[in-house]
Structure 1
Amino acid sequence: LEGFLKRVEELRKRGAKYISLKTGAYRPKDLALALRAASEGKIDLLIVDGAGGGTGMSPWRMMNEWGIPTVYLEAFTYNYAKLLAEKGKHVPAIAIAGGFTMEDHIFKGLALGAPYVKLIAMGRSTLTAAMVGKTIGSLIASGNIPKDYAEYGNQVEEIFTAVAEMKKILGNDWKKVPPAALGVYGYFDRLATGLKQFMAGARKFKLEYISRDDIFALTEEAAKVTGIPYVMDLDREESLNILLG
């Protein structure tokens, strides 16, 4: 802890404006230490990475199967952050990572950790979008376009939906944007649109308004782990009041 705080101070003296800490799929006591260090160091962002452990250089099974699953780790994170907040301690913005790929994942991840989880971090899904975009671009260039894509056309601007937006932003310079980047932009545009739809349905028009009340647990185990109400207990008192007056 002392070494971490010393390093934070060194970085600030060197002009660092924002300081973040990236964790792995830690066991609970190590996560607690990370949160305490982040709190005492008054850093700006703590990234908590659930599910698999290790880095891109780690064994495949380590990356996919070792460590604490994201939902469980986020439940720990929420409880620890809440405890610090109740004691008047600094709680940095928290980002949760670990298996998030679609807009409903993002909504539920933000809701489960609200109000402490401010961001969802995504790695492999973004890389996948880039790789797919690059592959499609290569197929277009070679004229070997799969039938599913060919029905839209045979040019980059006909197949990549992101091109229309790129033309608005960059004009003719959109052609300098590689297909891999178009794939990433299109992927995040889809996520943004889907997330806005979920938020509109929940009547939450800013991310900061998403709360734990926006989700419920489908199993009793999930309710026990997360503290989120079990579906059969959800709105019980309100429902009885509506029925019986």
Structure 2
Amino acid sequence: MTTDPYGDPDLVALYDVDNPGGIDHDHYRALAEALDARTIIDLGCGTGLLTRSLATSGRSVSGIDPSSVMLDWARRQPGAENVTWILGDAGSIVATGAVDLVLCTGNAIMHLNADDLRRALRRISGALRPGGVLAFESRNPSAREWERWTREATLGERDTDLGRLTEWLEVTDITGDRVTFDAHNVLLDGEDRIYTSTLYFRRAEAFRTALQDAGFGQVDVAGGWNGEDITPTSRVLVFHARRS
């Protein structure tokens, strides 16, 4: 068992299969275009699928992630040479006050506890230019998605480079807004590679308060990728926060 859910070099290639670019990536690319962002940081970039697509001519793009396995994969992909890859977390962000856009996608911000979130938002605020934007998404706690993370609801099988793989999710602890769950990956020989994750399901107002405390003025929140209103069934909360 490991607490790095993305630390298995045998399974890392499946991440992009399970998380292909879609309306979320379209949203962030459109935002970068609308802001005419020349300097972009992708915090929690993972395998760099979105990061590499942002690294067009005239842009300086950095991808930061704490998983060496995911960054090693990212560095081997087409277009990787156009990105500056950094092994680390928000503490690796330099307070230049000159960055146009910081992204934290794939619900990566949900891995941060309260103290880490405060520190990360302060580092991001210090890196952004006045008027620069932080954009991210988080699962909506009102939708109670974790209640569907059971073996019965998530059990599946598929063929991979490792052979037939049996997978499921199972929640092991719920404390306040913190949900801990195991991802099971059973190989053909019966080996079960279990990866434990902890996510924090925060309401919009909790994020808004933390953002304002970190120096963000205008904070816009939507209940979807097309600016939908937030409802109890909205799956995601999408944030755009502008540095004062």
TM-score > 0.5 by shorter chain: no
In terms of fraction of residues, the more strand-rich structure is 2
In terms of fraction of residues, the more helix-rich structure is 1
What TM-score comes out, normalization by structure 1 length?
Answer: 0.30
Q: Larger relative contact order (C-alpha < 8 A, sep ≥ 6)? A: 2
